[in-house]
Amino acid sequence: MQSLHSHVQSESCIPAQVVAAVDINTVANEVYKYNFPHTQLLAKTIEGITLEEFDRLSFNMILMSPPCQPFTRIGLQGDVTDPRTNSFLYILDLLPRDLLIQTIGSCGFQYQEFLLSPTSLGIPNSRLRYFLIAKLQSVPFPFQAPGQVLMEFPQTESEHPQKHAIDAGKKIEEKKIEEKKIEPNICFDSSTQRSGKEAILFKLETAGEIDRKRQQDNDLSVRMLRDFLEDDVDMNSYFLPPKSLLRYALLLDIVKPTSRRSTCFTKGYGRYIEGTGSVLQTTEDVQIENIYKSLTNLSQEEKITRLLMLQLRFFTPKEIANLLGFPPEFGFPEKTTVKQRYRLLGNSLNVHVVAQLIKILCE
């Protein structure tokens, strides 16, 4: 989401002016103009901007988040053959192009790759993303991690940042395995609770997933979800429909306000259930395992009655924006539908993570 760029500029505390924002999506542009009415907005594709037009903007930094769908595991994995990569490839074309790493290296830039999630900043939302920062080699980075993909924000050389890294030369499949090991909670997990010391497998998940989620909820370095929730939300607008409860009961990732975790929110949130993000249990005194263990041999109506006791609801767009690090004053035009808000937020990055990377880039 393009308004991310202006928010990270203010959060990073780096004195800068956003000379232009570029997006072809009409709804995204309306939201951007609503929040940043004085910033030049180019309603076109990146590849529709000539090199001369770029030169006239006279910028020092590009912040870009190409569509991830061509490269994700749940997408078609079309890579550069997917037309949604056109804007990214066009930027590489403007530099004498090969592919990303070769291009920035041949143009005299040093770079650093990252795989980062907001949980590393104490935010209870798993949103593992690949980031790359690059700048001219005349100004070195304030850390040394050559050939590594950092899994946490860099420390000083004496603190051995390499223990949080992987070899950039490894195969893509090896990187995915490492990705799962560091941050396995990526958009697909179901929920759990613990009862005493024994795991209760009352949903479609493994004992390992149960244990990992318990560890996440016990990680005091991460804030509780309640810090990001709205106080006066009309819950009736966000409760899961009974049919959805019945159909997806075993797949839901259920969290409470006291939880210190949530799964990745995608653009299909609120419209699709499976793999699109966590749902919130608002009756905290009801034990989820007791509800699920009681569903056996009940009729559909009785199962729905039991599941409704959990009062499960979707997170609101504002709450997701809070988890993504958007400031309190961020808003949507009144005509922007809830579905459109979810779609835009699902395509966003976390503001706090990007702001931290900009600080590193400008040190």
**d(C-alpha 210, C-alpha 196), whole Å:** 13
- Distances in Å between the Cα of 104 and the Cα atoms of 25, 68, 134, 142, 202 are 28, 20, 8, 19, 50
pTM higher than 0.95: no
Which pLDDT score is estimated for 26?
Answer: 95
Fold adopted by 1-107: Rossmann fold (3.40.50)
Give the pLDDT confidence of 60-84 residue by residue, as tens digits. 888 988 765 544 544 544 444 555 5
- Distances in Å between the Cα of 171 and the Cα atoms of 70, 157, 168, 175, 293 are 18, 26, 8, 6, 43
How many residues are recorded in the chain?
363
What value, to the nearest 5°, has the Cα angle with vertex 263 and ends 76 and 302? 100
Of 191, 210, 190, 208, nearest in space to 200 by CA: 210
Which pLDDT score is estimated for 178?
Answer: 40
CA-only gyration radius of the chain, Å: 22
- Percentage of the residues of the chain whose pLDDT score is greater than 70: 74
Q: What number is the average pLDDT over the span 221-247? A: 93
**d(C-alpha 228, C-alpha 324), whole Å:** 10
Which pLDDT score is estimated for 169?
Answer: 45
Which pLDDT score is estimated for 126?
Answer: 95
Q: What number is the average pLDDT over the span 122-129? A: 94
Q: What number is the average pLDDT over the span 109-137? A: 92
DSSP 8-state symbol, 191: P
Task: Map tokens 């009729």 to a residue.
Answer: 299
Let me know if 68 is a catalytic residue: yes
Amino acid at 128: L
Fold adopted by 194-341: DNA Methylase; Chain A, domain 2 (3.90.120)
Which pLDDT score is estimated for 118?
Answer: 97
**d(C-alpha 353, C-alpha 363), whole Å:** 16
Q: CATH topology of 1-107 equal to that of 194-341?
A: no
Q: Which two tokens stand for residue 247?
A: 């159909």
**d(C-alpha 177, C-alpha 186), whole Å:** 12
**d(C-alpha 48, C-alpha 28), whole Å:** 18
Greater confidence (272 vs 179) lies with: 272
Q: What is the 3-state secondary structure (H, E, C) of 161-189?
A: HHHHEEECCCCHHHHHHHHHHHCCCCCCC
pLDDT band at 345 (very low <50, low <70, confident <90, very high): very high
Q: Where are the domains of the chain?
A: 1-107, 194-341
Q: Which residues on adjacent β-strands are paired with residue 131?
A: 114
- Percentage of the residues of the chain whose pLDDT score is greater than 90: 48
Where is average pLDDT lowest: 7-16, 22-31, 325-334?
Answer: 7-16
Buried b (16+ CB within 10 A) or exposed e, 198-237: ebbebbebeeebbebbeebbeeeebebbeebbeeeeeeee
| For residue 140, pLDDT beyond 70 | yes
Give the pLDDT confidence of 104-113 residue by residue, as tens digits. 888 888 899 8
